[in-house]
Amino acid sequence: MKPKVLIVENSWTMRETLRLLLSGDFDCATAADGETGLAQALAQPPDLLLSDVNMDGMDGYELLRRCREEATLRHLPVVFVSGFAPRSGGDPSLPVPDAYLVKPVKPAVLIAEIHALLRRGRGAPAPAAQAHTKG
């Protein structure tokens, strides 16, 4: 059985591109915004959450914060894929994803990162997220 990946992305084109790219290795579900993504994750917890950062309403950081507050999602591996570098400034209130990839991301890099996070397993301590640019 393929691991389940929930893709939360507000751009239909990017959401479908990610779904098609990942569907060979993973069972993909999609959500168009953070609120819908959180509801889907709570109803059917995925093995990994792949999210955009900049979305209207609940952005990726708020989605991650809300997941970390839920007992069933607390240890869910989360990957951010964004066109922008990670927010910096040392704000300790910002949650840290397990990985942060900057678009454009090479498909092989994204798939390898997801497999690595899934191998580490849920509940395993995550190292500090690192930003990767252009794969």
Nearest CA to 79 out of 63, 66, 91, 90 is that of 63
- Given this model, what pLDDT does residue 127 score? 46
- Given this model, what pLDDT does residue 89 score? 64
Say if residue 129's pLDDT is above 50.
no
- Given this model, what pLDDT does residue 93 score? 80
Q: Is 34 in contact with 57 (CB distance < 8 Å)?
A: yes
Q: 67-103: per-residue pLDDT in tens?
A: 999 999 999 999 999 998 887 666 778 889 999 999 9
Region of 85 (left: φ > 0; alpha: ψ -120 to 50; beta: rest) is beta
Instruction: Say whether pTM exceeds 0.85.
Output: yes
**Lowest-confidence region among 9-18, 43-52, 109-118, 122-131:** 122-131
- Given this model, what pLDDT does residue 90 score? 66
